[in-house]
Every structure is written in structure tokens, then in C-alpha cells.
Amino acid sequence: MRTLCMKYIFLVYFTLKTLALTGLTSLLDSGEDFEMLDEEEFDDEPPPLEDAGGGDGIDPDQSKRKETDGPSDSDPQQPADEWLDVLGNGLLKKKVLHAGAGRDSWPQKGQNVKIHLKTCLMDGTPVEELPELWFTLGDGDVIQALDLTVQLMEMGETALIHTDGKYAYGARGNLDPEIPSMAELSLEVKLLEATDAPDLELMPPPQKITLATSKRERGNVHYQRGDYAFAVNSYGIALQITESSSKVDISPEEENQLMDVKVKCFNNMAASQLKLDHHDAALKSCVSALAHEPENVKALFRMGKVLALQGEYSEAIQTLRKALKLEPSNKTIHAELSKLVKKHSEQRGAEQAMYKKMLGNPSSSSSTHKHQAKSTWGFSWKWLFGATAVAIGGVALSVVIAARN
């Protein structure tokens, strides 16, 4: 009982801490490769994702509503016919339909789990059924409702999950399967299997590339939904995969493929961090991308934006000019550069006006100084001439008196 309580408390604490990182979302940090469109309407937004759109297969959803008896003695926190408020806010609830192998069979964060999933709207409308859905527990591969509740399931257990749209598909909803904005969902989940994640050092390079790409694409899905902290998390996991050492042979072509995924992750991580106003972190991501590809236009473009936001206008202009030199016809860079040059010019004008106000009018002060100096020298020469005349007059008078005597 105590072990069960401690595990549940730890899960709730970890979840709330995770969500607090960015309001709705949370976790690590990473990025992907965005395409810069030739659009004049760019403003302050980073270009859209280059290859987002993956993830529908990775992002399973929720399920059918069923009112049944819960587990008996296997889960003392969840008696039969009783809902478990997973987060304590009433927005994510779980009820056991059929008990599993006991609390000792709960899956662990980081394990790969397989579930059978039925998804319905809260009015009972069927949405989707997936007989076998694999995902890594805690990696954000699926909606939050699944990622959080499956950690509280026993092996073989069937559970009913009711979730608010906040922990499902959010304001953007979903296209395939079609789910409306902020739709509440009913999920029927059966936990089929849980296995430890494979050793990355022993993983064949093709599998490593596929795994890193899937995590990166999941980050794209998070980014499109506005869940920027979760996007950063997925990109960070993809980076860990690409940077892991390997004990198996890898070909130059496979190394290049891993490097391509890595640079894309750094790029889109920077874009996500910009959305979160994490400017220092975004700058580091840009620097990391450029360390591998010094002429990566997207990394140069984002670095220019970050430097501008930090007030480093001269460096930002220089960086954007370098990007424009590599892609002279890119209208997005043109627009950003011209906007930045104008802003920098206005700032310099304001600084010069402030300096003049602080120091007064240098020209009038200088002329006054010269006039005073001229007047002083004029007075000095007049005094010297008068004193000399008096002295000469005195000498002449003395000579005359001496001659008479």
C-alpha cells in the first residue's frame, strides 16, 4: 500500500512539475528544420516547419466510454465503480474495468509499452480503434492523457479514461482521426506489454536513424499545436539518440543521415525556444547547428533573430547579411534584415539625441569658450602695454632729471 501511494504521489508531482514549465506543456529542449517561405508577411514568427505532418500514427487517441466495475483488491486506491482523479483537478480521470496482474506489474517510465486503444467522443461517437499501439512511456509520443494514465495501469488491465481536451488534442484538434477543438474524449485502454528500451549503443544505425526521426517528427506535431516545451522535449530525446555512441559499425552515409537529423533538431529546437522566450537557450541551439553546418541558412536566420531580441543589433545585422549572401532571393531574410536595419538606425538616432541632451550643445559651448579666451588674452595684452609705457616714461623722466643736474 505504501509503495503504491508513493509511486502515485511521485507521478502526480512529476506531472504537475512538467506542466508548470510552460503553462500547458513542459520538459526538455530541442529543435527541427523549418522551411523559410518566400513571404513578405514574416514579422516575428519563425518560418513554419519544413517537414511537419508526421505523427498521426504516433499520436493515438482516446476511447470508448464504459460504466463497469473497477478492480477489486489489486488497487486499494481505486475500489470498484470508483474514478481515480489522476491530477487532482477533475480533468483527467481513470476507472478500472478489468483488473490486471497487480500493482507490481505497473510499467516504468522509459519502457516501451503496447496497448489496445479505443477512442470515442464523450457523446459515444466512435473515433478510432488501434489493436496495437507502441510508444515509449513518458517521452511524449502520445497525448498526455495516455502518457500519464498508462503509468498507473497493471499489466493486462483494461481501464476507462475520461480526459479534458487540454490533455488530448487541445485547441487545434486533429485531422486524422478527426477530433474537434478542445474535445473531451473517452478512452478504453488495455495494457498488453511493457519492455525495456533497447540499448542505443547496440542498436543498428538504420534503426537509430528511424527512432531519432520519429522523435523529431513528434516534436513537429507538438510545435504545430503550440506545445513548444513538449516540442523541445521531443527534439531533445531525438538529439540524445543521434549523439549516443555506437558499438556497431556505421557507414559514412548513415553518419550523414544522423547528422542531418541532428542539425534539424537543433534548428527547430531554437525555433521552439524562441517561442518560449528562452533566448540564451535558442542562441546555444543555433551555435550548435552552425558548428556542424557553418553555412546553414536557417540556423543563421534564427541566430540573427535571437541576437536582435537581445539588443545585439550590429551582430544580428551581420549574421542576417551572411544568410542573405547564401540565399540572395530569400524574401523572408530580406524583410527581417530591412526591419532590423531600420530599428538599429532609429536606436542610434535616439542615443545621439540623448547624448546631446546630457552634454548640452557642444557648438555653442565651444564658441563661448573661445570668446572668453579671446577676451582674456585681449585684456592681458592691454595691461602689459600700459605697464610697459609707464615703465618707459619713468626711465625717460629719470634721464631728464639726471641731465639737468
pLDDT in tens, 304-313: 999 999 999 9
Specify whether 171 is located in the same domain as 270: no
Confirm whether 207 is domain-assigned: yes
Confirm whether 7 is domain-assigned: no
Q: At what angle do helices 205-224 and 228-243 cross, to 10 degrees?
A: 170
Specify whether 278 is located in the same domain as 187: no
Instruction: Report the predicted TM-score, pTM, of the whole model to 2 decimal places.
Output: 0.69
Q: Which of 31-35, 180-184, 199-203, 353-357 has the lowest mean pLDDT?
A: 31-35
Tell me what pLDDT residue 400 has.
Answer: 53
Total number of domains in the chain: 3
Confirm whether 44 is domain-assigned: no
Q: End of a domain among 197, 219, 252?
A: 197
* E strands, 184-299, in order: 185-195
Pairing label, strands 92-98, 158-163? antiparallel
Q: How far is CA 402 from CA 78, 284, 390, 397, in A?
A: 136, 98, 19, 9
Confirm whether 253 is domain-assigned: yes
Specify whether 182 is located in the same domain as 80: yes
Specify whether 193 is located in the same domain as 207: no
Specify whether 295 is located in the same domain as 393: no
Contact 30, 239 (CB under 8 A): yes
- How far is it, in rounded angstroms, from Cα 208 to Cα 210? 5
Specify whether 274 is located in the same domain as 348: yes
What mean pLDDT comes out for the span 67-88? 60
Checking if the pLDDT of 256 tops 80, the result is: yes
Checking if the pLDDT of 18 tops 70, the result is: no
Confirm whether 52 is domain-assigned: no
- How far is it, in rounded angstroms, from Cα 11 to Cα 15? 6
Q: Which of 14-28, 83-97, 212-226, 366-380 has the lowest mean pLDDT?
A: 14-28
Specify whether 144 is located in the same domain as 161: yes
Residue 5: half-sphere exposure toward Cβ, Cα within 13 Å = 3
Q: End of a domain among 144, 177, 197?
A: 197
What mean pLDDT comes out for the span 209-233? 95
Higher pLDDT, 401 or 405: 401
Specify whether 332 is located in the same domain as 378: no
Checking if the pLDDT of 399 tops 60, the result is: no
Confirm whether 39 is domain-assigned: no
Query: Using 50, 70 and 90 to split pLDDT, how confident is the model at 189?
Result: very high
Q: pLDDT above 90 covers what percent of the chain? A: 61
DSSP letter (8 states) at residue 181: T
Residue 40: CB atoms within 10 A of its CB come to 9
Specify whether 272 is located in the same domain as 193: no
Checking if the pLDDT of 284 tops 70, the result is: yes
Whose cell is 495516455? That residue is: 146
Q: End of a domain among 142, 168, 197?
A: 197
Q: Which of 9-13, 71-75, 146-150, 191-195 has the lowest mean pLDDT?
A: 71-75
Specify whether 75 is located in the same domain as 192: yes
Tell me what pLDDT residue 123 has.
Answer: 94
Q: Which domain holds residue 382?
A: 371-405
Higher pLDDT, 15 or 231: 231
Confirm whether 391 is domain-assigned: yes
Query: Using 50, 70 and 90 to split pLDDT, how confident is the model at 32?
Result: very low
Specify whether 107 is located in the same domain as 186: yes
Confirm whether 11 is domain-assigned: no
